[in-house]
Chains A and B, each alone.
Chain A
Amino acid sequence: MTIKGKAYIAGVWEHPTRKADDKSLAQLHAEVAKGALDDAGLTKQDVDGYFCAGDAPGLGGLSMVDYMGLHVRHLDTTETGGSSYVIHVAHAAEAIAAGKCNVALITLAGRPRAEAMATGTAPRNYGAAAPDVAFEFPFGPTVVNQYAMAAMRHMHQYGTTSAQLAWIKVAASHHAQHNPHALLREVVTVDEVVGSPLIADPLHRLDCCVITDGGGAIVVTRPEVAKRLARPTVRVLGAGEAVKHQRGGKIDLTYTGAVWSGPAAFAEAGVRPSDIKYVSIYDSFTITVLITLEDLGFCDKGQGGKLVADGNLISGTGRLPFNTDGGGLCNNHPANRGGLTKVVEAVRQLRGEAHPAVQVKSCDLALAHGTGGSLATRHGSATLIMERA
């Protein structure tokens, strides 16, 4: 069975807040749900499938279905960190194709700023029962120094430079200047990125994504439902998901699960990387984008530095426009999980509703990719290909 053409993205919404001192976590989930349903022209009474991940409060799906007063016949709480929501779109399409639901709601929300979380710089401990914890936590693994080790190895093996990585942030900043909701709207230069303080060699402060509160939601529906709504229609063409791990100690930091999720999505969609007009690429750090683009086949392995340099990712002038909302690097990384907003901006592009300064001309085919967890050692990868219907 394929999901190709079996489901449409009917509604998307990104919460405008970036610091939610005055809202509860459950409230944020419900606000983004309302936003996406309003966007689609549907109501919560239409929802019969609900999807959420580890950011949902309390008992997760149970608590949020209770809070929102939904009546669902399908529930999916697949948790793969920041990539969860890209996987949720695919799982929603599968559930719709299998007749398990007609209108699937996906929500993400969080308030790490309001809670003053040391998101990327405090060693993470997932509890004494995590099988790896004794063999990692004593050594001080943080989000940033683990991604930094992937960057260090890529530089060693392929000659990638800090200036090439910096171009990814520069491109994101060019886009963010047009987004009134973006946390960082100032255009930055390569020199400013490589001149910002080193956090974990070789990653600088400006190689890291923002920390923001807020969230977003997506409504996926049966084609017949989407076609009777007023909004431009976006069809799900193909998807792939994968888990990259440590292979029992045969660790290789130079590639991600995108080497599996990408080809699966392209095969299901029946398209090639060269057909794609716009990409939303998970950008927790600059290195995340570079390795992912290689693994998805937008260039040969090891050539990512050349692909992203010299403004090639800037919409209007570059050959591969990416993250035109400013991405996680400049706009928003709600709940420290960037997968959902990747889908949202891809849908805006396919609808022709991105900011005019960054709207890709004739954008009829787009890709969104999520990465969640520790880069190249324990992460989820999810690739989604969509077309304007």
Chain B
Amino acid sequence: MNAPDRTIPAPPVNPETQRFWDAAAAGTLLLKRCAACGESHHYPRALCPFCGSDRTEWREASGRGTVYSYSVFRRAPVPYAIAYVTLDEGVTMMTNIVDCDLDTIRIGQAVSVVFKPTHGGPPVPMFTPAARERP
């Protein structure tokens, strides 16, 4: 069965990450990509964590990925699944797997982004099992 919703704390927003959260409010997942070295990264930074360049640019992500790892936290008042999802762009991000039976989550499972409201802040990107399995 699907777990009931839990209250999601608001992410603190700062000038460096304002664009990410504005896009999230519009239902779009952004990644930072470095124009100097070509690497994408997450969480987003003004300076590239790979080459140090300040020529980082916002790019719209596909919103598709696979579960790299996960854990259902049984001790919480409302159990939830924390996870790392590897996006098709090759970047892995912390998230929750939602809108599904938590006991069916598997590593390698195809997932797609869904934005969930927070308590007094912008929505955050979570993931839900994709309609079909992908390799």
B-to-A contact residues, CB < 8 Å = 6, 8-14, 17, 21, 39-45, 48-50, 68-76, 80, 82-84, 86, 90-96, 107-108, 118, 124, 126
Contact = CB atoms under 8 A, between A and B. Distances in A.
A135 B43 contact: yes
Contact of B68 (A200, A248, A251): A251
A27 to B, nearest CB: 33
Contact of B107 (A150, A156, A200, A251): A156
Interface residues of A, number: 38
Interface of A: 121, 123, 128, 131-142, 144-146, 148-150, 152-153, 156, 197-203, 246-251, 253
A53 B36 CA distance: 38
Given A141-B82, A156-B107, A248-B42, A135 B69 contact: no
A149 B68 CA distance: 9
Nearest to A199: B75
Contacts of B124: 138-139
Contacts of A140: 6, 73, 76, 80, 82, 96
Given A139-B95, A249-B42, A249-B93, A156 B74 contact: no
A133 B12 contact: yes
Contact of A138 (B11, B42, B43, B83): B11
A140 B7 CA distance: 10
Nearest to B80: A140
Given A149-B82, A156-B69, A197-B74, A139 B94 contact: yes
B92 A249 contact: yes
Contacts of B10: 138
Contact of B82 (A145, A198, A202): A145
Contact of A148 (B17, B68, B71): B71
A115 B91 CA distance: 39
B11 to A, nearest CB: 4
- Kindly name the residue among A138, A149, A150, A156 whose own CB sees the greatest number of chain B CB atoms within 10 A: A138
A145 B73 contact: yes
Given A153-B107, A248-B41, A135 B73 contact: no
Contacts of A123: 9
7 contacts: A135-B42, A137-B11, A138-B9, A140-B96, A146-B82, A148-B73, A250-B90
